[in-house]
């Protein structure tokens, strides 16, 4: 894996808080990320998987929440997250027309790894998130197959690549090349170090709207491109934000931190377009929820909510940085019908931000 | 199609309002229902499809809403219904572990029938509802294939069967055989006749809890069966309720009527078990929402909400009746591992309700 | 306090579970209820207060949730309950046009008993619930004054009266006299006895719809009254349901149990009229949430959700019984403009239910 | 009314869209705003009222929605807005501990102007929004009286002042003086000009977080003040955003535009603090909802949602500008216990943004 230059490597520092060691969602202990990339000719798509921890996630669920910023999207599995406050499968990201296949594959994977599902216990709630990569990708061709999901799960590890990779292969962000980005922040609570990590799949926004650290660089890029991009037409795109933390947050607290992600994306210029399905899924590894819990009353830990502001900031900062990382690490891509997205890195030296 | 005896045919009349001509959801003009039934050995499952109208539903969407009674379920497509207030595909019902396949099939069907999706316009939001038929069905075998969804759509018509058929083939209700049930009510508004129709997929409840017209017949059935069924353990089951109407209700009004369905199910004895995913999806054919609407400001019709009570009653009555129809029309079934569900019709003559 | 005959005293037993000692919400240890009754001439109104525990509720908050069954109502304080999952004041019930006064009084009471509010700490979130008693009461006269709220708080105790008293003085239920009702259930979890208690303020429904233990007694009462009551016109009424428990439920779990209260009210015949604001507020004394919590990570207890079904049943049973208690304990009342509500107890001997 | 210098007067132009004539919420035809200011010694508070139109708002309701950004707040009336999608009273803004009095006053005002309420028709749903002005104001003294609400309603007109006035008298924003701000945008739909207007009551944020047009001016102000303000402690503050438009948006569409207001506030640097109750209420004068509507099916107009993006932008731009207007028009204020808030206008010349 070649090390790509990330937004910090350009001297652009987002926020005041300290990042985790890798500045990735996998700074949260146990979290792993795997990709499968389908990138040839008009096929520009793939799969990205987030594993909340290294054990059997169905048997040891994690507290979770989701927040729907804009529901023009096809994410699968949110109803049960909302009701029960847990997730019990890996989280799979892919293109919009691949959600059925991904859902079917994830069910198959869960059946394979859990004999009891659908037999001696209930069923399982697969979590599939998506963006529409149809501008670059032959999305109608539905090139994501079940094996790709299995392989992406198999590939999951702590170090992972960002940019035009995995589910991000064909995504566009601010009409530049987008895709996968990540970032993290660490903070101290009662003398213990905790981490908040973010992974984004970026596919939203108009070029002219892009803002980096307050600078309206999107307008400058339009000038460089000699484009007059001022239009507010529909873009059928999306933004997926996955938040992970080891702070023992309850589902309600996870929902509250999820609601702050939008502050981070707003700082990059997004207006939450009508057609942009924007979904946040957050989970905490700070408590276990056992599928076969023997006790009827269980002890858990919970953040004293008077101290949640610092976590809000961690979410805002790392979401903003993750989005910028998705842009600057994504290579320029030519896809179906010759459609093209440039890379932010080709402009960044010319912008006055660095 | 052999005519099955329905709950009214036993002299059990639910409520005060007049039913539609067929006492089916298809009394709402344009609505059609299709089944595929997979019923051999341990395979007890299938697919049921509801078409909101006879034209291209993607190009002429209908106003819709959903209400999550209990979100321990895997229904797909609710986020976008909530955000945009429309549905743009047929509604597919199947078993829980078949939702991925059904979702993929429905996407394929929509692509086939709409050249523009994913190419010159956005993607599409498939609606898949489910219950867990794993008590009777070899649900882990995942016997529902994509063709079954296509065939069920092809089969859709105004007349359709109830009981152990289609998605209802393997469902259990009050630990009797459940499945598909339907009912309808008509009412007058400003000298025009309107219809409210319901289709249910029933898979919830404990035998001892069953109530018919206020009589605790479930306890009597336990006596007949010589069973002591008093337990409050988990059942991993569900209830899907589809409401259709030609009254021009807005999405918010459709949500309000959806919230009354639970009154109908409560009257049959359901306690909304923890494990019972109970979902209502409602749509109205009273307004069209064109995908390529040329005007920026559009005229629509809307119910004067001061008159919504009558519609609430229609929903309550027809939901209760549809559930009872699902029970009384469903034949006794022996499924996987010899698991068995009796039919209500085998008991009904012995109960004091008729 | 004269002992009134309650629904059980007529031999009408709701459900299978065991009641608490008093069969009142105050069977939950620490919970107290106080009334002020304003009952002369056309003034038929009052105040009822529920104290979650005996200590300073602002300093030791309790986990809480609310569920809006039908939001045609004016309850105050729900936004913050939803966000923070706690309540920090007594819960005040009164008539709809008295909510401003009650809110102001409760703020004043909280300021008096907490020097820090609005000075060295934040403000306070008063909880006021209401029903419209305007059929019997001169509600436009706004006879509830601030002193009444202070007095009702002062009156709070474990034993309290039901029926046409406190906030229930002028309420109507199924067009009979309604008001305050209560009930409770006990259950065992891990060898410890826990209690679920309910207090209702009933003011909803049409006479003809009243059901008692499955019997359509409302229609029979219409016959006795020689009335043809079949109309579905608007009634501007409401139902307030307060759930208390010592089971350590989290806010999300409290919301889930709140959603089952409607099953209990449905069993008494309610259709959730358009004009009926129906609100559930639930709290648990099983964990403390300290306003000045010193630790940043706190230990709490939580129900293993696999065992929540029994609590759902407790809620359903006690809500149904509480509503019936509100009816049968409420005396016939003549209010403003000679408007009259009969008491269920005057009919109950003539109905075939006992 | 002396003309105050607004943010545009400093050459700071927010966004690309055209403002309305006055760049105020009252550019939406029929909307009026009235203030009462209580400003002596430690009393720094007041009332601001927004009238949606000039006729009887109870008899001619307007479509409305609310969106809870952060529910740590005491706004009254949201449940019914959510359920029915209308507002039927003026909107009153005041301090947090004045909501009871304001609610009582608004009820009294509605009773005075509508003989039928509580007598021949139902009750009324008062809308009261609030922020905590306790840093500058003796909020425990509860100086807002009922007369002040009546007077503020009486004062309502098209031209109104911004800054430390009305409900904004004692508010703080980014630890500078905040208060009332407003802005508007116009746009064309089907050859007709429409307006989106915003009024904010600002009381949120840390000084160091303030951003103006992307510049982190808050940090610069901390330097000028020689303060190290880097803390993430609790501030018990709030932000109220009122959106008005004459575009015929349905309640669901109004909710969608409400959700974009936060993008505007994020651009000024807000992190949505835990203690900051942030509430949006939006209404449209584009359709009437008659209390005594004679028809059962009614014709209304509705925006073709494919064109909603432009309205999202109008909301984002005007919210951002309204917040900045609230800051720059608010005079420096010394309140209770010598607490002081400086005015942005005293710094603005020294910042590099102009």
Q: What is the mean pLDDT of residues D79-98?
A: 98
- pLDDT, residue C236, reads 66
Taking the C-alpha atoms of residue A206 and residue A172, their distance in angstroms, rounded to an integer, is: 10
Q: Does residue A224 surpass a pLDDT of 70?
A: yes
Q: What is the pLDDT, as a whole number, of residue D236? A: 66
**Which uninterrupted H or E stretch holds C218?**
helix C217-224
The model's pLDDT over D241-284, given as tens digits with 9 standing for 90+, comes to 999 999 999 999 999 999 999 999 999 999 999 999 999 999 99
Q: Which residues contact A282 (CB under 8 A, 6 or more apart)?
A: A64, A65, A66, A67, A242, A243, A244, A245, A249, A254, A255, A257, A258
Q: Which of residues 250-279 of D touch C (CB under 8 A)?
A: 275, 277, 279
A21 CA to chain B: closest CA distance, Å?
36
- Contact of D270 with A263, CB cutoff 8 Å: yes
Query: Which of A220, A232, A255, A258 is the best residue to mutate to test the D interface, defined by the most D CB atoms within 10 Å of its own CB?
Result: A232
Task: Please tell me which residue in B183, B276, B318, B343 is annotated as part of the active site.
Answer: B276
Place of tokens 């919420």: D25
Interface residue B117 vs chain A (CB under 8 A): yes
Q: Do A316 and D271 touch (CB under 8 A)?
A: yes
Structure tokens at D83: 């359920």
Average pLDDT over all residues of chain B: 95
Between positions 130 and 189 of C, the ones with CB within 8 A of D are 132, 134, 139-140, 142
Beta-sheet pairing, B277-290 with B238-245: parallel
Q: What is the mean pLDDT of chain D?
A: 95
Q: What is the pLDDT of residues C236-279, one digit of tens each?
A: 689 999 999 999 999 999 999 999 999 999 999 999 999 999 99
Q: Which two tokens stand for residue B278?
A: 């109970």
> What's the distance, Cα to Cα, between the start and end of chain B in Å?
26
Report yes or no on whether pTM surpasses 0.95.
yes
In degrees rounded to 5, what are phi and psi of residue D337? 55, 30
Answer whether A25's CB lies under 8 Å from A315's CB. Answer: no
For A230-285, the pLDDT digits (tens) are 554 456 689 999 999 999 999 999 999 999 999 999 999 999 999 999 999 999 99
Alpha carbon of B30: minimum distance to chain A alpha carbons (Å): 27
Q: Look over chain A and give the mean of its residue pLDDT values, rounded to a whole number.
A: 95
Give me the DSSP letters along B210-229.
--BTTB-HHHHHHHHTT---
Count of CB atoms within 10 A of residue A219's CB? 18
Q: Is residue C113 over pLDDT 90?
A: yes
**CA separation for the pair A146, B142 (Å, rounded):** 14
Write out chain A residues lying below 8 Å of B80, CB-based: 71-74, 277
pLDDT of D293 higher than 60: yes
Q: C-alpha angle with apex C35: C29 to C38, nearest 5 degrees?
A: 175
| Cβ contact D296–B190 (<8 Å) | yes
Query: Could you list the active site residues of C?
Result: 238, 276, 278
Taking CB atoms and an 8 Å cutoff, what residues of chain B touch D120? none
Going by pLDDT thresholds of 50, 70 and 90, the confidence category of residue C232 is very low
Residues of D in contact with C100 (CB under 8 A): 100-107, 126
pLDDT tens digits for range C75-112: 999 999 999 999 999 999 999 999 999 999 999 999 99
**Cβ contact B234–C309 (<8 Å):** yes
| B-chain residue closest to C270, CA distance | B263
Note whether B263 contacts C259, CB cutoff 8 Å: no
Contacts of A107 in chain B (CB under 8 A): 97, 99-100, 142
Burial B292-315 (b: 16+ CB within 10 A, else e): eeeebbbebebbbbebbbbbbbbb
Tokens of D275: 């203690």
* C234/D contact by beta carbon, under 8 A: yes
**Band of residue B229 on the pLDDT scale cut at 50, 70, 90:** low
Residue-wise pLDDT tens digits, C300-337: 999 999 999 999 999 999 999 999 999 999 999 999 99
Most D-contacting residue of B298, B307, B308, B311 (CB-CB within 10 A), to test interface:
B298
pLDDT at D63 over 50: yes
Question: Which residues, 6 or more positions from C90, have their beta carbon under 8 angstroms from its beta carbon?
Answer: C49, C50, C51, C52, C57, C106, C109, C127, C153, C156
Mean pLDDT of chain C: 95
**Given D262, D308, D312, which is nearest A262 (Cβ)?**
D262
Distances, alpha carbon B320 to alpha carbons B26, B184, C11, C169, C212, in Å: 17, 11, 28, 35, 18
Q: Work out the burial of residue A111: count CB atoms within 10 Å of its CB; fewer than 13 is exposed, 13-18 middle, 19 or more buried.
A: buried
Position D232 scores a pLDDT of: 43
CA-to-CA dists, residue B53 to B245, B247, B253, B288, angstroms: 11, 14, 20, 11
B192 interaction partners in chain D (CB closer than 8 Å) = 297
**Mean pLDDT, residues C228-232:** 53
**What ipTM is given for this predicted complex?**
0.96
C121 touches chain D (CB under 8 A): yes
What is the tens place of the pLDDT at every residue in C150-172? 999 999 999 999 999 999 999 99
Rounded-to-integer distance, Cα A335 and Cα B193, Å: 54
Give pLDDT, residue C234: 52
- What is the average pLDDT across B48-52? 98
Q: How many percent of chain A have pLDDT more than 70?
A: 97
> What is the distance in angstroms between the Cα of D254 and the nearest Cα belonging to chain B?
12
- pLDDT at position C353, please? 76
Q: Are C152 and C165 in contact (CB under 8 A)?
A: no
- Contact present, A163 and A35 (Cβ < 8 Å): no
Q: Environment class of residue C237 by beta-carbon count within 10 Å: exposed (0-12), middle (13-18) or buried (19+)? A: buried
CB contact D79 to A (< 8 Å):
no
């Amino acid at each position: 894996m070649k090390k790509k230059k990330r937004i910090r490597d350009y001297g652009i520092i987002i926020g005041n808080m300290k990042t985790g060691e890798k500045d990735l969602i996998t700074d949260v202990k146990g979290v792993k990320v795997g990709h499968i990339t389908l990138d040839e000719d008009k096929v520009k798509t793939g799969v990205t998987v987030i594993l909340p921890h290294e054990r059997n996630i169905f048997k040891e669920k994690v507290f979770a929440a989701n927040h729907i910023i804009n529901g023009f999207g096809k994410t699968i599995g949110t109803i049960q997250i909302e009701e029960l406050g847990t997730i019990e499968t890996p989280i799979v990201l892919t293109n919009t027309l691949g959600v059925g296949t991904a859902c079917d594959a994830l069910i198959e994977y869960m059946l394979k790894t859990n004999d009891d599902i659908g037999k001696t216990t209930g069923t399982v709630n697969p979590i599939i998130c998506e963006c529409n990569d149809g501008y670059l990708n032959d999305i109608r061709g539905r090139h994501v197959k079940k094996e790709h999901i299995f392989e992406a799960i198999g590939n999951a590890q702590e170090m992972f690549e960002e940019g035009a990779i995995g589910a991000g292969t064909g995504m566009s962000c601010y009409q530049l090349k987008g895709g996968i980005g990540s970032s993290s922040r660490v903070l101290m609570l009662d003398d213990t170090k905790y981490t908040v990590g973010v992974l984004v799949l970026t596919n939203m926004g108009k070029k002219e709207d892009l803002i980096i650290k307050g600078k309206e660089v999107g307008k400058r890029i339009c000038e460089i491109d000699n484009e007059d991009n001022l239009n507010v037409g529909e873009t059928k795109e999306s933004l997926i934000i996955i938040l992970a933390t080891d702070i023992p947050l309850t589902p309600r607290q996870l929902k509250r931190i999820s609601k702050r992600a939008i502050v981070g994306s707003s700082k990059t210029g997004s207006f939450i377009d009508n057609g942009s399905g924007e979904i946040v899924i957050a989970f905490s590894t700070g408590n276990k929820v056992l599928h076969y819990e023997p006790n009827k009353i269980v002890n858990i830990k919970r953040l004293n909510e008077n101290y949640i502001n610092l976590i809000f900031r961690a979410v805002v900062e790392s979401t903003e940085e993750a989005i910028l990382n998705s842009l600057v690490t994504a290579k320029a891509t030519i896809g179906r019908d010759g459609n093209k997205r440039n890379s932010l890195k080709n402009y960044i030296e010319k912008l006055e931000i660095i």
